[in-house]
């Protein structure tokens, strides 16, 4: 089973890119982030023609998440994180695909920091940690996949000081990610590529793609019922190089 996550950065604007990647990569399940589409405008028809069922949760202009399933309809179990009924931002959706429960997330960026956006980021990550603990305790096969907007360690970013004040690298952001891992989740990409230079995001500014000046912020975390089944994990870099590309590349795992 192949499961991927892809911050598509506007699903309608980059629909041809998404469809090309789906045709080449043939993932069984895909988590999308930053769909930037209302629920009514989500391209469900085009995706069904490409062989994918979908569940989605979006809004105009910002945010938005979706889960796709090849040749099937995802069985939605949750939309939105528990813990704050006033939070209406579409950043989390959860569904079962092929016997695996998949949580698709788009964590807040948190910039500028300090400030209310960073406070919201930390509060949202706390809610994710609490929900993840409940999922973990269930013993189910679970994958938490998406754009976490956290660079976990110094080896997950190119040599630079330009991000030193960025919310993605702050000690409290990294501590939240570490607290999540400490529950027992497996960071799939880093587990299979220890010590390697591997990025999932390259900003459009300052020629960062051409310079391979990237960050690793898209992660797939596996519960103990899934982790022993991990066969492979990697980043499809080529979609970042084509015209009208997202600033992220798809990240994927294969499970036995």
Q: How many folded domains does the chain comprise?
A: 1
- pLDDT reported for residue 42: 98
Q: Which domain holds residue 184?
A: 2-255
pLDDT digits (tens, 9 = 90+) for 26-35: 999 999 999 9
pLDDT digits (tens, 9 = 90+) for 229-241: 999 999 999 999 9
- pLDDT reported for residue 198: 97
Q: Which two tokens stand for residue 80?
A: 């939105």
- pLDDT reported for residue 200: 99
| DSSP bridge partners of 238 | none
- pLDDT reported for residue 166: 98
- pLDDT reported for residue 206: 95
- pLDDT reported for residue 81: 98
In 3D, which of 129, 133, 107, 105 has the Cα closest to residue 118? Answer: 107
All residue ranges of the chain with pLDDT < 50 are none
- pLDDT reported for residue 17: 98
pTM of model > 0.95: yes
Alpha carbon dihedral 206, 208, 214, 218, in 10-degree steps, equals 90
243 in Cβ contact with 32 (< 8 Å)? no
- pLDDT reported for residue 204: 98
- pLDDT reported for residue 105: 98
CATH number, residue 217: 3.60.10.10
């Amino acid at each position: 089973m192949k499961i991927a996550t892809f911050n598509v950065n506007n699903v309608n604007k980059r629909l041809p890119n998404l469809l090309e990647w789906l045709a080449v990569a043939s993932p069984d399940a895909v988590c999308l982030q930053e769909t930037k589409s209302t629920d009514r405008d989500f391209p469900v028809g085009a995706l069904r023609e490409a062989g994918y069922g979908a569940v989605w949760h979006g809004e105009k202009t910002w945010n938005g998440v979706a889960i796709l399933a090849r040749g099937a309809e995802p069985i939605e179990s949750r939309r939105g994180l528990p813990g704050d009924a006033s939070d209406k931002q579409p950043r989390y959706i959860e569904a079962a695909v092929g016997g695996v429960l998949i949580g698709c997330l788009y964590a807040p960026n948190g910039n500028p920091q300090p400030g209310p956006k960073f406070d919201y980021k930390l509060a949202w990550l706390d809610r994710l940690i609490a929900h993840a603990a409940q999922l973990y305790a269930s013993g189910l096969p679970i994958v938490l996949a998406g754009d976490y907007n956290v660079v976990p360690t110094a080896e997950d970013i190119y040599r630079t000081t330009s991000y030193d004040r960025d919310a993605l690298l702050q000690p409290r952001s990294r501590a939240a990610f570490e607290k999540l891992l400490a529950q027992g989740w497996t960071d799939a990409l880093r587990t299979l590529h220890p010590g390697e230079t591997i990025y999932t995001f390259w900003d459009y500014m300052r020629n960062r793609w051409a310079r391979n000046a990237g960050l690793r912020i898209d992660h797939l975390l596996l519960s103990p019922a899934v982790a022993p089944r991990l066969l492979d994990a990697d980043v499809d870099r080529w979609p970042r190089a084509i015209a009208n590309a997202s600033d992220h590349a798809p990240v994927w795992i294969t499970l036995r």
